[in-house]
Amino acid sequence: MLAWSIYISFAGALLVALTGRHASLARWLALTTAFAGCVVTVLALASLQPGLWTTIAHVAWLPSLGIDYHLAADGISAVLLLLTGIAAIAGILFSWNIDHRTNEFFAFYLALIGGVYGVFLSADLFLLFVFYEIAIVPKYFLVAIWGSTRREYGAMKLALFSFIGSAMVLIGLIAAYVASGAHTTDLVTLAHAHYPTGFAFVFFPLVFIGFGILAGMWPFHSWAPTGHVAAPTAASMLLAGVVMKLGAYGCLRVAMLLLPDGLAPWGWHLLWMGSWRDVFALLATTGIVYGATLALVQRDFKFVIGYSSVSHMGFVLLGLMSLTAVGIDGAVLQMFSHGIIAGLLFAVVGRMVYTRTHTRNLDELGPMQMARAIPFAAVTFVLAGMASIGLPGFSGFPAELQVLIGAWHSDPIFTLCAGLGIVIGVAYTWRAMQLSFFGAPAIPDAPPAALPPITLPEKLGTFLLLACTLGVGLYPRLIMQWIEPAVASPFFDGLRKVAGL
Amino acid sequence: MNSLNMFALFHATMPETILEITALLVLIVDIAFLRRTVQFVRFRVGALLSLFGIVGSAFAVLCIQPVTQLAESMIVITPLGKLVQLGLLGITALCILLAMDETLTNHVGEYIALILFALIGSMILVSTLHLLVIFLSLELLSLSLYIITAFNKNSIQSSEAALKYFLFGGMSAATLLFGFSLLYGLSDTLNIASMAGIFVLQPFTPVLVLAVLMVIVGFGFKVAAAPLHWWAPDVYQGAPAPSAMFIATASKLASFYLFWNLLAAVGEKLNLAITPGLIGLAVISMLWGNLAALAQSNLRRILAYSAIAHTGYILLAFLVGGTIQPALIFYVLTYSIAVTGAFGVAAIVERQAGGSDLKDFAELSKRSPLLAFCLLIFVLSMAGIPPLAGFFAKFNLFAIFWQSQPQLWWLVALAIAMSAVSLYYYLQILKEAYVVEASESGPQSTAASLTVSLITKLILLLCALAVIALGCFPQALLGLLDQAAFTSF
């Protein structure tokens, strides 16, 4: 039944594309599709065993190459599917105001969602790659057609970075397919295959970086801020909320499962780095601090959020590279949490503020007294900001805490640096909040700028996302019950062996 | 020498004979009855007649039994060769059907007949293993192509393209003929089926390497492998659309298939000597094709350079033995469908917007959503985006290549890396079609919606659906090719 989330999304995309000029029909159809996808996911998850990699569909596809159409899900996929469902609905609610080529917008949007569902459900490496690429193409059009600042540049950069990443993944995929000699692209079979010595040391980093590019890994992150800024609100919500998770999911599910030996020590040291694990943990930590620091000095509101995404995704990668159960649990929870929070932040900046004021410059926003003009947006941003800096009670707290605990076991120094990143995170969030919403008026006692009121779809979307981050923050088991058994499953045995657990 | 069985020969060349009669019929009908009617009618009648001929020929191809060793391999029909012939017929049918709206010439009958003659040349090319017949059919193909390239007399570009094509083609034919004569001199036979056996017994001589290298150079011209590609961009740009379509697809398919047969004939021993040459051609084609395409601003020139790049990928197949042949043909066939479609869209835009520069495609999605969608599918397939046919073709080719030549894996890595580069120029095309608004691209108003005849729409849509279907269910075609290749040996 889970597989229907994919089919519904693609069918919806096709239908929406055919609606022609009926903008409101396209909107409602898109919302219905996203809602149906989410409902199907939730219903199907109720009967899913989180600790088992349960096959949902398995059909021979290309027997001559040993490729199957094989869908399966476990707890980790479950969490990310849920995130996709929620983000899809929220994104549509926040793009209710799109009236330029509406049907095309939602068609690309739903095609993207369908691809994302597909990636999270694929149990066959070839199939995963197919869905992964399907998810990349619509991104380009969403950003290039409906975007704002330097949209064509941002879109092209985004697309090229993604395609370079996926080219690296494809090389790794073919290499693993050939080297395993198994004549199959089934993920589990390939993960248990024996590769020649040294193979993993070459191709693990290739695949990890290939996916890592999309996860915003420093120094390959530079597509993310420009892409986010150029993208229309819904697209930046999806980019930060879901698409960057595709990268992180690929790092975990493909790179780390397939070639865990690549994480083993090299046997020699270069600049204190003794394995690819050290290298990527360093890159992740650098990303955390670098992203946070740059967010601190931005003048464009959306760039602040864009760089904060890089910083937060650094936690995901750091958690993965801790190679501890706690750390990986935390990383997956952080994927979910950041997906929700980043979506909320982009919604405030892109939809609530920018479409009303037509500026994202913090200096210009200040005098408008936004907190008095649109108090709803201000409150939302304050709450989302609190969630983003990891205050207890919001989902960011249990996620980043677990990542830090996991990382402490392996790299105390990196953990300290990541902690520093959190402190900077408080600073940039506070600064952005202060400058944008609570600035002093240019003339004392001037009335706040007159702005259109917040619409109902925006409110609904806000409540949906806030409920998720609060719910998970107050009761993390809601999500952890899916993640923990999945990470503890025999599926990750290879990884545990390398980590020496 | 066996006595020649004329009846068997006639039977085996039935498909070509039918085409020959059709071509003459098209000529006669057009000249005798339609001289005074409008082009619209003439093109349609001609296309309809040739469609009948092509269908009849396809039936004949399906009916003939595989033949080997007829008249010293002058006619060799294998199951795989039959499939390639069907592919050639199908592609040519698409070219002719898409030519129906053309207004490029008053000599409609001659134009269509020449396309059919080119088709006959390519058909014979894939059903022979005899050097003399190869050369003759190659010349039939080439001479027809030179003429249909020059056919638009109102366009100076068309003439320029034809002249370049002719000069380069003539040189390549000379090289090829020299290579052939060396091969003949060394082996004392024109039958390449028996050549392999002779070369195995001979000591390794530099003259043989020279002969094979000359053959490679000759075919490098034909399939536009860099650095022997100089004619391609001008021909792709200057030739009338249906001619360019045929040159880019059917002529290539036949040449690749024949090249395969020739290389297989000279035997394993030579592979050591020619491998570096092939690797060089492949690498230069991939690099130059993709990098030069980045700088183009004309859709047809982009297609030309992308064709050079694709030739580079395809050449990888020639470094591997027999198992990769189905993958090779699958690649060329699916690529041909996409290219035919892309030229079809380009031809429509050219007729109504006056050119095929990228800016002429601005707002295509508004002017004709269907055309824009088709172009999207064709271009993404060429770029190798799943789930379209082009992606699977690449994956299949590269996976098999890596499996059989693990030490050359860097070639696959290079090919995939260059495909990532190619995304830039493919996206440039789609950017014009989908993203750019007319007000940004210039003062001229191109926003008028395009009028496209129903039949053209249907054909383009059919091509697009075929590209999608072959990408989602490649086994349908690949299974056929695999089976045919299996029974061909």
Q: What is the mean pLDDT of residues B251-263?
A: 89
Q: Which residues of A touch B368 (CB under 8 A)?
A: none
Choose, out of B423, B426, B428, B465, the residue to mutate when testing the contact with A (most A CBs < 10 Å).
Answer: B423
Q: Which residues pair with B77 in a beta bridge?
A: B67
Report the candidate in A185, A176, A191, A166 with the shortest Cα–Cα distance to residue A62: A185
Chain segment A151-177, per-residue pLDDT in tens: 888 888 888 999 999 999 999 999 989
Q: Which residues of A touch B365 (CB under 8 A)?
A: 104
Report the 10 Å Cβ neighbour count for A408: 18
Q: How far is A133 from chain B (nearest CA, A)?
A: 6
Of A56-65, A166-175, B364-373, where does the model show the most confidence?
A166-175
DSSP conformation letters of A181-217: --S--BHHHHHTSPPPTTHHHHHHHHHHHHHHHHTT-
Chain segment A272-316, per-residue pLDDT in tens: 777 888 889 899 999 999 999 998 888 888 888 889 999 999 999
Asked whether the beta carbons of residue B386 and residue A130 sit closer than 8 angstroms, the reply is yes
What percent of chain B has a predicted confidence (pLDDT) above 90? Answer: 44
Distance of CA B442 to the CA centre of its chain: 35
- Retrieve residue B90's tokens: 């199908």
Is it the case that residue A93 has pLDDT exceeding 60? yes
Q: How far apart are the first and last CA of chain A?
A: 36
Residues written for chain B: 489
Q: Is B420 in CB contact (< 8 Å) with chain A?
A: yes
Read off the DSSP letter of residue B385.
Answer: -
Asked whether the beta carbons of residue A130 and residue B391 sit closer than 8 angstroms, the reply is yes
pLDDT at B304: 93
Q: Is A133 in CB contact (< 8 Å) with chain B?
A: yes
Residue A54 parent element (H or E): strand A54-62
Q: What are phi and psi of A54, to 5 degrees?
A: -85, 130
Asked whether the beta carbons of residue B420 and residue A175 sit closer than 8 angstroms, the reply is no
Q: Which residues of A touch B399 (CB under 8 A)?
A: 65, 174, 177-178
Is it the case that residue A422 has pLDDT exceeding 50? yes
- Retrieve residue B358's tokens: 């990228």
Give the whole-angstrom CA distance, residue B463 versus residue B338.
7
Cis peptide before A219 (omega within 30 of 0): yes
Asked whether the beta carbons of residue B478 and residue A141 sit closer than 8 angstroms, the reply is no
Report the candidate in B301, B444, B432, B322 with the shortest Cα–Cα distance to residue B372: B432
Residue B36 CA: distances (Å) to CA of B104, B108, B111: 16, 12, 17
More confident: B439 or A121: A121
Instruction: Identify the residue whose tokens are 């003929």.
Output: B177
Contacts of A379 (CB under 8 A, 6+ apart): none
Residue B362 CA: distances (Å) to CA of A497, B365, B436: 56, 8, 6
Asked whether the beta carbons of residue B399 and residue A171 sit closer than 8 angstroms, the reply is no
CB-neighbour burial class of residue B352 (10 A; exposed 0-12, middle 13-18, buried 19+): middle
Q: What are phi and psi of B324, to 5 degrees?
A: -90, -5
Average model confidence (pLDDT) across chain A? 87
A-B interface: how many C-beta pairs under 8 angstroms? 75
Query: CA-nearest residue of chain B to A157?
Result: B424
Cis peptide before B387 (omega within 30 of 0): yes
Q: Which residues of B touch A129 (CB under 8 A)?
A: 386
Q: How far is A132 from chain B (nearest CA, A)?
A: 9
pLDDT at B152: 85
Hey, is B380 helix, strand or coil? Answer: helix
Choose, out of A16, A174, A177, the residue to mutate when testing the contact with B (most B CBs < 10 Å).
Answer: A174
Q: Which of B385, B387, B478 sits opposite A64 (nearest CB)?
A: B478
Q: Which residues of A touch B478 (CB under 8 A)?
A: 62, 64
Q: Which of A61, A65, A170 sits opposite B416 (nearest CB)?
A: A170
pLDDT at A275: 83
CB B332 within 8 A of CB B401: no
Report the candidate in B256, B250, B314, B330 with the shortest Cα–Cα distance to residue B90: B250
Q: How far is A326 from chain B (nearest CA, A)?
A: 36
Q: Is B4 in CB contact (< 8 Å) with chain A?
A: no
Reported confidence tier of residue B269, pLDDT bands at 50, 70, 90: low
Asked whether the beta carbons of residue A171 and residue B387 sit closer than 8 angstroms, the reply is no
Residue A180 CA: distances (Å) to CA of A196, A209, B324: 8, 21, 20
pLDDT at A236: 87
Q: Is A164 in CB contact (< 8 Å) with chain B?
A: yes
Cis peptide before B227 (omega within 30 of 0): yes
Query: CA-nearest residue of chain A to B373?
Result: A17
Report the candidate in A366, A131, A321, A338 with the shortest Cα–Cα distance to residue A240: A338
Q: Which of A137, A160, A171 sits opposite B424 (nearest CB)?
A: A160
Q: Where are the beta strands (DSSP E) in B368-440?
A: none
CB A245 within 8 A of CB A236: no
Hey, is A53 helix, strand or coil? Answer: coil
Q: Which residues of A touch B398 (CB under 8 A)?
A: 174
Q: Is A129 in CB contact (< 8 Å) with chain B?
A: yes
Reported confidence tier of residue B1, pLDDT bands at 50, 70, 90: very low
Q: How far is B107 from chain A (nearest CA, A)?
A: 42
Q: Which of A61, A64, A134 sits opposite B386 (nearest CB)?
A: A134
Q: What is the mean pLDDT of residues A131-156?
A: 87
Helix axes B131-149, B156-187, angle to 10 degrees: 170
